[in-house]
């Protein structure tokens, strides 16, 4: 295991995408786990999905801050694509650790709305890198994605695999983030770690994700479409496991070392964070509807079979995602382990409460 070299207590931590699904859960975990932290969050609160969910996450953070008198929370309403704004945040708050989770998400949306991805995922990330270059930071951690593996035939996906064949613009922007971070790590000796997340789910998640969209349709009595005739497999990863992985990575910045030529080696790493247990989409949907019935979101006599339709694969999708997390286990002694039934159960309970079903 790696030796911890970043103490997050008494630190200023900048979290982008702080009103997002993963970002808000990370902020809550940092407040729970550390003393005297000052967390600065930014989010543009765009309407890619229901803004009330983002507002719910922010209010949850604000309530948590009230219970932690030694911690500070500053929220900035704005975009990471606004270079002047990012520079002013770094100038004012001088964050020692930066976690970039802001991004335009969604594979299918990138097919019809490419501009949003270039602005947030490329220009926005460039602004973060530039700010880290001009202000000393101990560690930059940023979100990549399992989508960088594209249609790789070899499974499980390893960070040693070649990832030069993205099947969506979203995937291409995430691979670009890794390349940009590597260049900045090499040129400016900025310790950076990229995290390839695998199909994250849980309470207060993103409504564009399958489990959430299925639930919205089932409750209205509409049919759900299951792609590739149900033969897709996904490495579903519960949000708490993702956050625990991020937290451990934050405490371990890649070491600064010189190579044989006397020049710095890039202090740069990439890890997968996934459950390493791909689930068949039909099994996933079956567990989801069972948990929705248990939680009282759907009636006990719900005719599930009448509400599902098997359809072909769609553009930008891949048949399987499967994370090799051996590096994560070796370096941090951690492996995501929340079962699908437990995770979907938590989602079903939250859904019932949030939407007053």
- Nearest CA to 102 among 163, 135, 54? 54
Residue 156: cis peptide before it, omega within 30 degrees of 0: yes
Spell out the residues 6+ positions from residue 290 whose beta carbon is closer than 8 angstroms to its own: 341
**Exposed, middle or buried, 160 (CB in 10 Å: 0-12/13-18/19+)?**
exposed
Please pick, among 34, 170, 201, 351, the residue that the annotation labels catalytic. Answer: 170
Q: Where are the domains of the chain?
A: 12-354
Is 170 catalytic? The answer is yes
DSSP class per residue in 86-107:
HHHHHHHH--SEEEE------T
Element holding 308 (H helix, E strand): strand 308-310
Predicted pLDDT of residue 185: 97
Distance CA 59, CA 67 (A): 13
Positions of E strands within 146-278 = 192-197, 200-201, 224-226, 233-234, 237-238, 257-258, 264-265, 268-273
Stated length of the chain: 357
- Nearest CA to 343 among 212, 227, 221? 212
pTM above 0.75, yes or no: yes
Superfamily (CATH) of domain 12-354: NAD(P)-binding Rossmann-like Domain (3.40.50.720)
DSSP state, 119?
A: I
Averaged over successive runs of 10 residues, the pLDDT of the chain (357 residues) comes to 97 98 98 98 96 98 96 98 98 98 90 94 98 98 95 91 93 97 96 97 96 96 89 94 98 94 92 95 94 97 92 80 96 96 98 96
């Amino acid at each position: 295991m790696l030796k911890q070299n970043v103490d997050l207590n008494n630190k200023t931590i900048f979290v982008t995408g702080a009103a997002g699904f993963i970002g808000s859960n990370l902020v809550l975990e940092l407040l729970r786990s550390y003393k005297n932290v000052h967390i600065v969050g930014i989010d543009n609160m765009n309407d890619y999905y229901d803004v009330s969910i983002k507002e719910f996450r922010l209010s949850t953070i604000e309530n948590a801050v009230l219970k932690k008198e030694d911690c500070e929370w500053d929220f900035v309403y704005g975009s990471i694509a606004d270079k002047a704004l990012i520079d002013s945040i770094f100038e004012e708050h001088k964050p020692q650790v930066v976690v970039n989770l802001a991004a335009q998400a969604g594979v299918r949306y990138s097919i019809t709305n490419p501009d949003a991805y270039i602005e947030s995922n490329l220009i926005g990330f460039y602004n973060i890198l530039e700010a880290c270059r001009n202000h000393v930071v101990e560690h930059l951690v940023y979100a990549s994605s399992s989508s960088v593996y594209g249609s790789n035939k070899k499974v499980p996906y390893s960070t040693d695999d070649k990832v030069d064949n993205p099947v969506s613009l979203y995937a291409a922007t995430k691979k670009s983030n890794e390349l940009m971070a590597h260049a900045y790590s090499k040129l400016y000796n900025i310790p950076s770690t990229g995290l390839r997340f695998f199909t994250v789910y849980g309470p207060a998640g993103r409504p564009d994700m399958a489990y959430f969209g299925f639930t919205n349709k089932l409750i209205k009595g509409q049919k759900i479409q299951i792609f590739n005739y149900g033969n897709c497999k996904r490495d579903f990863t519960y949000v708490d496991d993702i956050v625990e992985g991020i937290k451990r990575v934050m405490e371990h910045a890649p070491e600064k070392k010189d190579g044989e030529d006397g020049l710095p080696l890039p202090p740069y790493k990439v890890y997968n964070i996934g459950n390493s247990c791909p689930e068949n989409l039909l099994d996933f949907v079956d567990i989801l509807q069972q948990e929705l019935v248990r939680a009282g979101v759907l009636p006990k006599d719900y005719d599930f079979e009448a509400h599902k339709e098997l359809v072909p694969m769609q553009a930008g999708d891949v048949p399987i995602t499967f994370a090799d997390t051996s590096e994560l286990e070796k370096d941090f002694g951690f492996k995501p382990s929340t079962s699908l039934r437990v995770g979907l159960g938590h989602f079903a309970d939250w859904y019932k409460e949030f939407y007053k079903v």
